[in-house]
Amino acid sequence: MRNTKLKSSLSMMIAVPMLVLTVAACSGNGGSNSSGTPSGSSEQKGSEAPKAVTLTYLSAWNGGGGAFPQDQENNLVARQIREKVGVTLKLESITTSEVEKLNTIFASDTVPDIVNAPFWSTISGEGQVIKKAAMEGQLLDLTPYLDKYPNVKRLLTTGVSKDFYEFEMNSPEFEGKQYFIPVETPDGTLESIHNWNYGLYARGDILKALNVKAEDIDTQDKLYDLLTQIKNGNFKDIGGKSVIPAGTMHNGWDYGRYLMGWSDYNISDFRLEGGKVTHWTLGEDQEPRLLFMRKLISNGLFDPEAFSNTDTTANEKLATGKMAVYGAQPMMDQLSKTLYKTNPEMQYELLGPMKNKNGEIATQVATPGRGGFPVIFLSAKIKDPEAALRYLDYVNSEEGRLLAYWGVEGQTYMLDNGQPRWLPEVKQKYDNNPDEKRDEGLNFLPGRFIGAFSSDVTWPQPEDQKTEWRKLEESFWKKMPIKVIDKISANYVAREWPQYDKYRDATNSLNFDTEFRKAIFAKSDEEALKMLRDIQDKYRAAGAQEMADFVAEKAAARDDIGF
């Protein structure tokens, strides 16, 4: 009897906690995904104090957490904002695919209160996912709130290209509802369009050793020769291991930089080739592009792991000088903290700029307003949308922007003739260790919360205030000035094509770039070309060429359509 009782007690002791654990594991849905809890966390600090609210925020950008301060809630900027608007953000970021994360939050109904995500178009990628979520009730319609928050309302139109605003943000399917707040947009002036400095960057010490001038490398042939010389030159990284002649950042971003010799100034998915309009997937340049990439890989000139690079492995390669040449942005934030500190002689130089197929500089192409940008949207289930909008409105006000970029007057900066300037000791601290600036909260807001604004235009910095990295970045801007095309993208003409919806559904599951990457690694050129033609055939069968013909016909009748 005693034995049985003992057994019972023992089994209870083990089984009950296990049961509780199991049930608890199922019921918990992750604190970070819970919506704002205004009622729970609300506390009135006197009649003047704003209501204290905690909101969840997701930066749906691969590696987007790099700008987050270590102490999310009690850094200098976060504290000031809390005092002003009562809002505290719990920040979350991802190191995986953006589309994957967006689909997951929408399908599992765990949309954080505020989300920032890429929104390049509503017919593919992230934008398509977000549009579906908006139309299926996952996003909050901002229309009723906008008049109350003028700084937010201004973001919807300022610095946004007219066609993008009309066809993407105000697609008829939205029935007049507004879901998206564009950020990282220019202030409406051409000078405020941000130059991302996409290009090929080569290690300076290697160029010097080879007696090659960076600006001389501006064609595909010269690039190939340079990479061959690098391979044969037996150059080493900082660990004494052989360098990779050519590489990229995560997931092959941006291997397209090695193919700029076939590029043109395009603002749409259509190409004008020999007087004929074609869809980009069917372009005659696809074959030489593919064969060039294959030549790089088969001759050991291009990192075969580039397409499998994670953000971490790519940064590791960058920090160790492993890549003799890489294609992407200047990556100044990462490099200034790592390689440029340990091995300043390795400082990367911009190659070329590379020339495009017309012999012009291959550079960033933009319309006067930005078409495609990061957007902020709010969850339909957010408990306190006013708090989120209060936050966004404040950080986009003049006062909020000063705080976001410069911190607190007298503490981090001073005003000199109305222009903010870092306090000398603060500037020195940030120059020596950029992470200090990040941890004060001075990086995450400018990156993802502010729009219709350019700090360079509003607060131009005198030369003596600029860091050497900033000066370097500006030198790249000068070499690759933005090409502005003030026309309507042909993409929007295509939407008038009667078969457009059918085409979109038929190509929904096709991924040209995935097939192109597969073909790069095919066993032979013949097999690679066959793979390329197979995917092109699928686009052709879906009607890509008929659509291009339709666009050509419509575009011929007017002069404001750009390809």
Sites of contact with other proteins (CB under 8 A): 4, 7-8, 10-12, 14-15, 18-19, 21-23, 26, 97, 99-100, 103-104, 106-107, 109, 128-129, 132-133, 136-138, 241-242, 244, 300, 303-305, 307-308, 317, 322, 508-509, 514, 517-518, 520-521, 523, 538
At its nearest, how many Å lie between other proteins and the CB of residue 329?
22
Contact (CB, 8 A) for 327 and 232: no
Contact (CB, 8 A) for 384 and 239: no
* Residue with smaller CB distance to other proteins, 455 or 507: 507
Alpha helices (H) along 211-282: 220-232
The dihedrals phi and psi of 35, each to the nearest 5 degrees, come to: -75, 175
Nearest to 320 by CA among 238, 390, 244, 262: 238
**Distance separating alpha carbons of residues 246 and 322, to the nearest angstrom:** 9
Compute, in degrees rounded to 10, the torsion defined by CA atoms 462, 464, 468, 470.
-10
* Residue with smaller CB distance to other proteins, 124 or 158: 124
**Distance separating alpha carbons of residues 437 and 406, to the nearest angstrom:** 10
**Distance separating alpha carbons of residues 165 and 119, to the nearest angstrom:** 12
Contact (CB, 8 A) for 509 and 535: no
At its nearest, how many Å lie between other proteins and the CB of residue 230?
14
Neighbours of 69 (CB within 10 A): 21
At its nearest, how many Å lie between other proteins and the CB of residue 18?
4
Neighbours of 75 (CB within 10 A): 20
* HSE of 53, CA atoms in CB hemisphere, 13 A: 26
Can you list the positions of beta strands (E) in 10-132?
Answer: 53-62, 87-94, 114-119
At its nearest, how many Å lie between other proteins and the CB of residue 164?
22
Distance of CA 8 to the CA centre of its chain: 59
Alpha helices (H) along 91-185: 98-107, 125-135, 150-155, 162-164
* Residue with smaller CB distance to other proteins, 2 or 478: 2
* Residue with smaller CB distance to other proteins, 308 or 411: 308
At its nearest, how many Å lie between other proteins and the CB of residue 282?
18
* Residue with smaller CB distance to other proteins, 80 or 248: 248
* Residue with smaller CB distance to other proteins, 45 or 530: 530
At its nearest, how many Å lie between other proteins and the CB of residue 131?
11
Tell me the CA distances in angstroms from 161 to 156, 168, 186, 476, one per residue in order.
10, 10, 10, 25
Compute, in degrees rounded to 10, the torsion defined by CA atoms 54, 392, 123, 482.
-140
* Residue with smaller CB distance to other proteins, 248 or 454: 248
* Residue with smaller CB distance to other proteins, 342 or 475: 342
Cα Rg of the chain (Å, integer): 26
At its nearest, how many Å lie between other proteins and the CB of residue 52?
31
* Residue with smaller CB distance to other proteins, 138 or 268: 138
* Residue with smaller CB distance to other proteins, 432 or 514: 514
At its nearest, how many Å lie between other proteins and the CB of residue 287?
18
Contact (CB, 8 A) for 500 and 494: yes
Nearest to 389 by CA among 106, 143, 128, 136: 143
For 376, the enclosing helix (H) or strand (E) is: strand 373-378
At its nearest, how many Å lie between other proteins and the CB of residue 112?
15
At its nearest, how many Å lie between other proteins and the CB of residue 34?
19
